[in-house]
Amino acid sequence: MMSDKQGRQREDMDPTTDLASGFTVARYHELRPKLTSTAPDESDWQEVLNAVERRIQERFLEPIDTLARAFTQDNATIVPGFAILALDCLLIDTIQSFREGRISTGDVSPAQSFKTFLSSPGFAEFNKKDRDDFFHYVRNGILHNGETRGGWKIRIDPSAIIERDPATQTRKINRELFHNAVKAECDQLLTTLRAGKDPTAREHFLRRMDAIAGYPAIRRKHRYFAYGSNIDESEIHRTAPTAEFYATAFLPGYRLVFSKHSETRGGDAASITIDPTSIVWGAVYRVTDQDQEALRQREDGYQELPKTTVYLTPPIPGDDPTPTTAFTFIAKTTCPFHCRPPADYLGIIINAAETRKLPERYVEQLKTYEGFTTSNK
């Protein structure tokens, strides 16, 4: 019996369970400490990656190939398009879960995750509307309702990966070309992991594998929207050391203000106030239970807004932002002396906003805040 870092017992992971043919849960647990040692043996990494490649081949690629071959046989009576695309959608989720280090479904926005995948070069023929609609009408339609919706059709005969009919407003997916593009993304993931030159990619991969194999894992199950100095990663890590940046985002219906007096800062700190005509930009982090509690302790002069809807910056400019929920904070009181923010504090926010590539207009508004100029930084 195993336990994760949240204290929950894992009784469901039989050590003899095959994660792939010839590779058990017990073998992964045996290899796992070696993968993050100061001098890991690459042969250990390759053994794990070979097992994951077999897992994907056995659970997704071979079944898809079998269905596709059956369709081409004489007198075939099966219509495998839905089943193939359903497996491809599951494979997309699998690929993205490794890329994102996903432990559970709630860690990320499924819509954002899928649209990010469909922004890959292999899906260049998908436009903004296609990416949005594919998630809702194809992925969700097939997996949840057993049908495509919104005029989408799955075929084998279109000449391109996606074909649009302006007269009927229908869109056809060539399921063979779509599958080839998904498979290419899978190959790219494994190539990147094998090369070992991207530490973040391997870190995320291990986090996902830990969840699959019941190995103790850090669960970043909360999303936190930072709009002040915590936009800066070094700042948030002073309080929440395991917080992980997820995406930039904006909060509509609020305006950024500097109204909460901070003895630590020696001036007024950032807060938000309701303003239907404005938005607040910031960063969304994934955080653990411990990180969340530490942020609550740090922001004791603030009231927590536990389930606030923020909109994630889309993977491609011009796409629709994806809504998600996050917790954030709003000041309980207003500084009666209107001390204004110290220059060095505002400078941290401006530098972080520029680093995170928040909208230029928003950054300029920060730079021209009353009592502050860029020369004060």
pLDDT tens digits along 77-88? 889 999 999 999
Strands 267-287 and 2-3: unpaired
**Residue among 254, 325, 263 at smallest CA distance from 300:** 263
Give yes or no for a contact between 201 and 269, defined as CB atoms under 8 angstroms apart. Answer: no
pLDDT tens for each residue of 56-97: 999 999 999 999 999 988 777 889 999 999 999 999 999 999
In the chain, the percentage of residues whose pLDDT exceeds 90 is 81
**Residue among 216, 206, 218, 208 at smallest CA distance from 289:** 218
Q: What is the pLDDT of residue 12?
A: 64
Q: What is the pLDDT of residue 222?
A: 94
pLDDT at 372 exceeding the cut of 70: no
pLDDT tens for each residue of 134-164: 999 999 999 999 999 999 999 999 999 999 9
What is the secondary structure of 193-251 as a DSSP string?
A: HHHT--HHHHHHHHHHHHHHHT-------EEEEE-SGGGSHHHHHHH-TT-EEEEEEEE
Q: What is the pLDDT of residue 370?
A: 56
Confidence at 5, pLDDT banded by 50, 70, 90: very low
pLDDT tens for each residue of 27-49: 999 999 999 988 888 999 999 99
Of 6-15, 101-110, 123-132, 195-204, where does mean pLDDT reach its minimum? 6-15
In the chain, the percentage of residues whose pLDDT exceeds 70 is 95
Confidence at 11, pLDDT banded by 50, 70, 90: very low
pLDDT at 4 exceeding the cut of 60: no
pLDDT at 262 exceeding the cut of 50: yes
Q: What is the pLDDT of residue 249?
A: 98
Q: What is the pLDDT of residue 338?
A: 85
Strands 152-155 and 170-174: parallel
Mention every residue, 6+ apart, whose C-beta is less than 8 A from residue 107: 100, 220, 221, 286
pLDDT at 186 exceeding the cut of 60: yes
Q: Average pLDDT, stretch 189-212? A: 96
Which CATH architecture group holds 222-376?
A: Roll (3.10)
Q: Average pLDDT, stretch 230-247? A: 96
**Domain ranges across the chain:** 2-213, 222-376
